[in-house]
Structure 1
Amino acid sequence: MVIRSMKKEGRQQRSGSRDLYSCFVSVTAILWVVLPVAAAKAFDYKDALSKSLLYFEAQRSGRLPYGQRVTWRGHSGLTDGLQQGVDLVGGYYDAGDHVKFGLPMAFTITMLSWSVIEYGDEIAAAGEYHHALEAIKWGTDYFIKAHTHPYVLWAEVGDGDTDHYCWQRPEDMTTPRQAYKIDTENPGSDVAGETAAAMAAASIVFRKSDAHYSHLLLHHAQKLFEFADKYRGKYDSSIREAKSYYPSWSGYEDELLWAALWLHKATGTPQYVEYVVSNGEGFGGTGWAMTEFSWDAKYAGIQILASKLLSVGNFSAAQRHVLKQYESKGEHYICACLSKNNGTNLHRTPGGMLFVRQWNNMQYVSSAAFLLIAYSDYLKEARRDVLRCPAGAVRPQELVELATSQVDYILGDNPMGISYLVGYGRKYPMRVHHRGSSIVSYKRSKGFIGCMQGYYDWYGRRGQNPNVVTGALVGGPDSHDRFRDHRGNYMQTEACTYNTAPLVGVLAKLHQQMSHQHVKEMTTSSSPSYLEFA
C-alpha cells in the first residue's frame, strides 16, 4: 500500500509530494534493513508449546496408548508394584532415568493443571488443549492407583542407586522395581500434600469435560490432605531411598498450605482458607521471603495463589490481614526476579538469565516465568496499575517483559545461540543425558541391551543421541552463560518433567499475545493512509 501510494504521488509532480515521496523511500529502505533483524528475534511460541507437550509422551511409563506420538518409545515398567501386590503401572519417569519419584511427579501435574486453569483458552486456541489434558491424566490415573487406602500412598517405584548403575532403555529395564509407600506409621506429609494439590488442581481441569473423573480426583485429594495433615512427617525420613535424590529440604509445611489452597480453589469450602490463615505464621507461609519456586520449595507459589484470593473472596478483616501478609511475601519474590528489592534479588547471568544454582537452573527459570505471567494477570484483574517494590514501582507489563525475556533466552536468544528446549529451532542440545534418547530405539533394534553394555556402547559415544527427546528443557548453562553439550554433563544436559511443565501456560499466553499483536498490526497497516487520499 505504501509503495502504491508513493507511485501515485510521483506522477503528480508536486514538490511537496516529491519531498514526501523521498521521505517514504528512506523509511522503506530502513524498514527493509530493520525488519529482518526484528524477525530474527521473533519466536514461534505455538511450535514451542506443541513440542513441550510432546515431551511428556517421551517420559511415559507403562503400556503406551494407541495414539502415542513419540514412536521411538515402547511399553515399559509393566510389572511395577507386582511384588507388593498392587498395580503401579503407569506414571512418569522424572528425568533421564527410570525411577518414578512421587514428589516431583505430583508437582509436575500440579503445574500442568495450573497452566490449563489459567490459560486453558490460550492452549485451546493453539490447538493443544487435548494434549494438555492427556499429559495431566497420564499422571492422575497413576495417582489414583497409587492411593490404595485413605492413609496409604505409594510414593516411589525403583531405587535411584541401583538405577544409576545401569544405562538401559526403559523397555529393557532390569533394575529392581521395589515400590515404597507412606502410611500412618511411616508418614510423608510433603508427598501426600503435593499429590493432594495435583489431584485437586486436576479436578478443576476436568470439571467440564468429565464430571465423574473430576469428582473422583477431588475425593482422593481430600483424603490425601486429611492423611498428610493428621499424620505429619517428612517422606524422605520414611522412604530413605528418596533422600539422595529428592529430599524435602523445605519440610512438609509448604505442601500442606499448597494443598489447602488448591482444595479451596476446587471446592470453595471456607475451612481450607481458614487452614491457610491459621497456619500462615506457624508453617512459614507469611514468614518465608523466597527467591525460588520449585518441586521442593512451594512458598512463592503459595503466596501468589493466596494473593489471588484477595480479589475474588469475601473474607473477614482478620483473614484479609493474613492474606495480605502472604501477598507481601509473594511480591518479595516477584520484586526479587525484577531486581527491585533493596537487598535480596535473583542473580542474573551476563546474558540475562535468572540464576539460582548450578544444577538444573532452568527449572527455576521456567517456574519464575510462570509466576511472573500469572501475577501480572492478577495485578490487571485487581486493577492495580503498579507493583510497588522497595527499589521502585513497576507496571504489570514489566513482569510480562521479564517472563518473555526468560522464555526467549530458553528458545535461543542467549550468548550461546542455542535453544535449550530440545527439538526447537536450528540448534539445540544433541547429547541429552537421557537413557532412552541416547540408545537406539527398541522399535529399530529389539536386541537386549544390558546395564554395562549401555554404558560401554552408548553412554560414552561422542555422537548425537539417536532419538530426539523433543520438548525437553535441559538444565541449561552456568552463571556465565556457558553450556557444554555432553551426555556426561548431567548438571546441564539432563531434562526433567518439572522443567517443562510451567512453560506450557507461559508459551500459550505468549502465543496469544503475539497473535493479538499481529492482528493489531495487520489492522493498522490495512487502514487508509494519508497518501491514499492525497
Structure 2
Amino acid sequence: MSRLFCLYGTLILLVTGGCKEAVPVITDSFSSEIRLNQIGYYPDAVKKAVVVTELENEKFSIVDSVSGDAVFSGTLSEPLDWEMAGEVVRIADFSEFTETGSYHIYIKDVGFSFPFEIKEHVLLPVFRGSIKGLYFQRAGMALDKKYASQWHRALGHPDDSVLYHPSSGKQTGTLNSPKGWYDAGDYNKYVVNASFPLGQFFLLEEQYPNSVSDGDLNIPESGNAISDYLDELKYEMDWVLTMQDEDGGMFHKLTTKNFEGMVMPHEATNQRYIVGKGTAASLDFAGAAAQAARVFMPYNSAYAEKCLQAAKKAFNWSIENPQLTFVNPEDISTGQYGDTNFDDEFFWAGAQLYITTSDITYLEQLNKEQIDFNYSPGDGWTKFMRFMGIFTLLENKSLVPDELYDELKEGILSTADALTERTKTNDYFQCVDDFQWGSNSDVLNTAMIIAQAYRLENKPEYLTAVRQSVDYILGTNALGYSFVTGFGDNPPMFIHHRQSAADGIVDPVPGLLSGGPNDDKQDIAAGVIYPENVAPMKSWVDHEDSYASNEICLNWNSPLTYILGFLEQESK
C-alpha cells in the first residue's frame, strides 16, 4: 500500500491508502457518544461502533494511539431509530481494517472514542480476570496481598460451626461447612447458585481443557501442577459437598437471617444458619457433581469418585422427593432462589449422570418428550439447566441414541439461528429485547447457545453473533460502559458489592460482571434513582445501592467466563 502526505491547512497526516480526514492531537477526553468494545477486537472480527449523532454523511477515522496518525477512514451509516435504547444512532463499520495495534475512533464534532486494541488473544486478560474475580469472592480464608494486591483482606466466615435452622429438618447441632464463594454482593452461600455456575464453568473445561494453566491466575494454589482454573472451581465444589445431608438431599443455603450491612467480611459477624432442603438444590448439585467427577478424574480420582457418589445420592433422594419446593421461612429474608418446576433440573442431572456413568437408567429417566429449545429472558437458575443437559449430550455423540442426538442438534441449531437473526436487527447487535434482572447474563447465556451451534456447524455468522454479544458487554451498549469491573476505560465503579463498598479502595474488586439494565427497577422502592422515563436498555445506574441493576453474581460471571474462554479458543 502507498503512504501519502496529505495537507489540510497546518495538519499533515501520514496515512495508508489515500487521504483521510484530518484529526487533532489525541487527548485524555473521550466521547461517551461513541460506543465500542473498550478492550478490543480480533483482527478478522466484525467491528462496529455505535455513534449517537444527528450528523449526516459524516466521516470517521481510525487513529493510531501511539503515532496519532489516521490509518483508516469510512462513512457513518444512515440513521437508525433504536427504541429500546431511546436513541438515533449511526454505525461506524471498520470490519475491513485488520492491522494489529492500539486505536481510537475520531469523528469531527463528536471527538475521540475510548481506546481499543486489535490483536490476537485480545480478550485473554478479561477471560482470566473473570476467573480471578472468583478468588476475590472466597469465603473462609484471608486474601493475602501477594495474590489480592490492594484488595487483600482478613479472613471472614470460617463457617466451621454453623447452626441448623429448623427448616433444615434438624432441631439441634452444627455443620462444618467452610470454603466456597460468596454468591453475589452479599456474604451468603447458596447451593442452587453454586451448582448452576459450576456447571457452566465445568462445560468450558470439558470442551476446552487447559484453557488456563497452572500459575496463570496467581492464586494460593498456583504451582501445584494443576490448572488454576480447576483449583478455583474445587474451592467452591469443596463447600457444596459439605451441604449434603446424610440421606443424600441437599440443604438449600448457608446464610444469616437477614442481609448484612455494607461491611467487610470479617466485620459481618451475625449468626449463620443451614437453611432448608429441597429438590432444586439436590438436582442442581447432582448435575454439577456428576460433571465434577468427569473433570477431576484425570487429576484426582478419589475426589472424582467422591463427587460421583454424592451426585448419585442427591439424584436418588430427588426421585423420592420430586416436588419439595423451597420457600424462605418467615424469619429468613436472604436470597430465595426459588423454583416450582423441576423438569429442567431433572433433565440436567439425569443427562450429566448418564454421560458420567453410561448407566442407561439415567437416560431412560430423561423426559425427552418435553424438551424446550426456546430461550426466554430470565432463564437463569430456574430453566437454563435443560440447555446444560443438552450441551453435554451433544458433546458425547457416541453415547447418545441417534434419534435423540438428531433432535437435540436440530433444536439447538434452530434456536441459534433465531437468536443470530435477532443480532442483525436488535439494538446494539445482541439477542435480548426484554431487560430483566441480570440482563447481561441473558446476553451471555444466549451467546452460549449460539456457541454450541458453532461447535456443531462452523458458520461464520454464529461466531460473529457470539463476538458481538461480548462487544455489548464490554462497551458497545446504550450506556457506553464496559460492564466488567476493572476492564475498559469506563467500567462500573460503584457495584452493589459489600467488600467493594467497605474496603476504602477507589476501584472495586476487579473481574466481576454487573447485572446490567433492568427495566423492572425493583430497587426504586429502596430509594435508587434512575433517569426519568429511561429507555429499557438504559435502566441501569452505577450506584452501590442498585441491587436490581448493578449487583454482581456467580451465575453472571459463569457465562461471561465461558464465552470469553470460547472466543479465545475459537478465534485462532
Q: Which range, TM-score by smaller chain?
A: 0.7 to 0.9
CA distance in 2, matches of 1:65, 1:440: 13
Give the secondary-structure state (helix, strand or coil) at the position aligned to 1:233.
Answer: coil
| 1:49-84 deviations in Å (ceiling 9; x for gaps) | 111011101111112476753642321112454333
Does the aligned pair in 2 maintain the 1:199–1:221 contact within 8 Å? yes
Question: In structure 2, do the counterparts of structure 1 residues 236 and 81 end up closer, same or farther at CA, with 3 Å as the change threshold?
Answer: farther
Partner of residue 69, structure 1: 148
1:151 aligns with 2:233: no
Partner of residue 311, structure 1: 397
Does the aligned pair in 1 maintain the 2:344–2:383 contact within 8 Å? yes
- How do residues 199-348 of structure 1 correspond to structure 2 at under 5 angstroms? 199-237=289-327, 245-249=335-339, 251-276=341-366, 279-281=367-369, 284=370, 286-287=371-372, 289-292=374-377, 293-298=379-384, 300-302=386-388, 304-305=390-391, 308=394, 311-313=397-399, 315=401, 320-339=402-421, 348=426
2:181 to 87, 92, 99: 92
1:358 aligns with 2:436: yes
2:511 to 471, 481, 493: 471
* CA RMSD after TM alignment: 3.3
| 1:259-306 deviations in Å (ceiling 9; x for gaps) | 111112222322222222xx223xx3x256332442221255146326
Partner of residue 411, structure 1: 474
Give the secondary-structure state (helix, strand or coil) at the position aligned to 2:399.
Answer: coil
Does the aligned pair in 2 maintain the 1:261–1:305 contact within 8 Å? no
Partner of residue 551, structure 2: 494
Q: CA deviation at 1:436?
A: 0.9
Q: CA deviation at 1:121?
A: 3.8
Question: In structure 2, do the counterparts of structure 1 residues 358 and 238 end up closer, same or farther at CA, with 3 Å as the change threshold?
Answer: closer
Does the aligned pair in 2 maintain the 1:336–1:346 contact within 8 Å? no
Q: Which amino acid aligns with 2:287?
A: A
Question: In structure 2, do the counterparts of structure 1 residues 242 and 295 end up closer, same or farther at CA, with 3 Å as the change threshold?
Answer: farther
Does the aligned pair in 1 maintain the 2:15–2:71 contact within 8 Å? no
CA distance in 2, matches of 1:322, 1:151: 30
Does the aligned pair in 2 maintain the 1:370–1:503 contact within 8 Å? no
Q: Which amino acid aligns with 2:71?
A: W
1:40 aligns with 2:116: yes
Does the aligned pair in 1 maintain the 2:282–2:315 contact within 8 Å? yes
Q: CA deviation at 1:33?
A: 2.6
Alignment gaps of 5+ in structure 1? 7-23, 183-187, 381-395, 442-464, 517-534
Partner of residue 531, structure 1: none
| 1:450-471 deviations in Å (ceiling 9; x for gaps) | xxxxxxxxxxxxxxx6452111
- Give the stretch that moved more between structures: 128-137 or 222-231: 128-137
Q: Which amino acid aligns with 2:466?
A: A
Question: In structure 2, do the counterparts of structure 1 residues 153 and 306 end up closer, same or farther at CA, with 3 Å as the change threshold?
Answer: closer
CA distance in 2, matches of 1:376, 1:45: 19
Give the secondary-structure state (helix, strand or coil) at the position aligned to 1:490.
Answer: coil
Q: CA deviation at 1:432?
A: 0.7
Partner of residue 179, structure 1: 274
Q: Which amino acid aligns with 2:480?
A: G
Partner of residue 460, structure 2: 397
Question: In structure 2, do the counterparts of structure 1 residues 99 and 354 end up closer, same or farther at CA, with 3 Å as the change threshold?
Answer: same
Question: In structure 2, do the counterparts of structure 1 residues 68 and 143 end up closer, same or farther at CA, with 3 Å as the change threshold?
Answer: farther
Q: Which amino acid aligns with 1:179?
A: I
Give the secondary-structure state (helix, strand or coil) at the position aligned to 1:468.
Answer: coil
CA distance in 2, matches of 1:242, 1:254: 26
Partner of residue 92, structure 2: none
Q: Which amino acid aligns with 2:248?
A: Y
- How do residues 478-517 of structure 1 correspond to structure 2 at under 5 angstroms? 478=518, 479-481=536-538, 483-514=540-571, 516=572
CA distance in 2, matches of 1:168, 1:486: 16
Q: CA deviation at 1:27?
A: 2.3
CA distance in 2, matches of 1:242, 1:206: 35
Question: In structure 2, do the counterparts of structure 1 residues 234 and 346 end up closer, same or farther at CA, with 3 Å as the change threshold?
Answer: farther
When the two structures are superposed, what TM-score results if normalisation uses the length of structure 2? 0.69
Does the aligned pair in 1 maintain the 2:263–2:499 contact within 8 Å? yes
Q: Which amino acid aligns with 2:275?
A: Y
CA distance in 2, matches of 1:174, 1:3: 68
Partner of residue 21, structure 1: none
CA distance in 1, matches of 2:16, 2:384: 54
| 1:374-420 deviations in Å (ceiling 9; x for gaps) | 2211234xxxxxxxxxxxxxxx2212211110111111223433210
Q: Which amino acid aligns with 1:162?
A: N
CA distance in 2, matches of 1:115, 1:426: 28
Give the secondary-structure state (helix, strand or coil) at the position aligned to 2:537.
Answer: coil
Q: Which amino acid aligns with 2:346?
A: L
CA distance in 2, matches of 1:37, 1:346: 25
Question: In structure 2, do the counterparts of structure 1 residues 172 and 243 end up closer, same or farther at CA, with 3 Å as the change threshold?
Answer: closer
Partner of residue 27, structure 1: 17
CA distance in 1, matches of 2:159, 2:353: 33
When the two structures are superposed, what TM-score results if normalisation uses the length of structure 1? 0.73
Q: CA deviation at 1:163?
A: 1.3
Does the aligned pair in 1 maintain the 2:485–2:512 contact within 8 Å? yes
CA distance in 1, matches of 2:155, 2:246: 27
Give the secondary-structure state (helix, strand or coil) at the position aligned to 2:476.
Answer: coil
Partner of residue 104, structure 1: 193
Alignment gaps of 5+ in structure 2? 5-13, 21-69, 74-96, 98-102, 106-114, 164-172, 218-225, 519-535
Structure having the higher strand fraction is 2
| 1:215-268 deviations in Å (ceiling 9; x for gaps) | 211111111111122222244148677887334335222111101111122223
Q: CA deviation at 1:179?
A: 1.2
Q: CA deviation at 1:512?
A: 3.3
CA distance in 2, matches of 1:119, 1:403: 17
Q: CA deviation at 1:430?
A: 0.5
Question: In structure 2, do the counterparts of structure 1 residues 497 and 355 end up closer, same or farther at CA, with 3 Å as the change threshold?
Answer: farther
Does the aligned pair in 2 maintain the 1:46–1:126 contact within 8 Å? no
| 1:288-346 deviations in Å (ceiling 9; x for gaps) | 6332442221255146326616733362xxxx444544445444532342246xxxx99
CA distance in 2, matches of 1:181, 1:367: 28
- Percent of aligned positions that are identical: 20
Query: What is the total number of aligned residue pairs between the two structures?
Result: 438
Partner of residue 371, structure 1: 449
Give the secondary-structure state (helix, strand or coil) at the position aligned to 1:33.
Answer: strand
Q: CA deviation at 1:351?
A: 6.2
Q: Which amino acid aligns with 1:274?
A: E
Question: In structure 2, do the counterparts of structure 1 residues 289 and 427 end up closer, same or farther at CA, with 3 Å as the change threshold?
Answer: closer
Asked which structure has the greater RCO (Cα within 8 Å, sep 6+), the reply is: 1
| 1:341-360 deviations in Å (ceiling 9; x for gaps) | xxxx9994456462443322
2:236 to 128, 132, 139: 139
Q: Which amino acid aligns with 2:17?
A: V
Question: In structure 2, do the counterparts of structure 1 residues 313 and 428 end up closer, same or farther at CA, with 3 Å as the change threshold?
Answer: same
Q: Which amino acid aligns with 2:311?
A: A
- Give the stretch that moved more between structures: 365-374 or 66-75: 66-75
Q: Which amino acid aligns with 1:169?
A: M
Does the aligned pair in 2 maintain the 1:439–1:466 contact within 8 Å? no
CA distance in 2, matches of 1:339, 1:126: 40
Structure having the higher helix fraction is 1
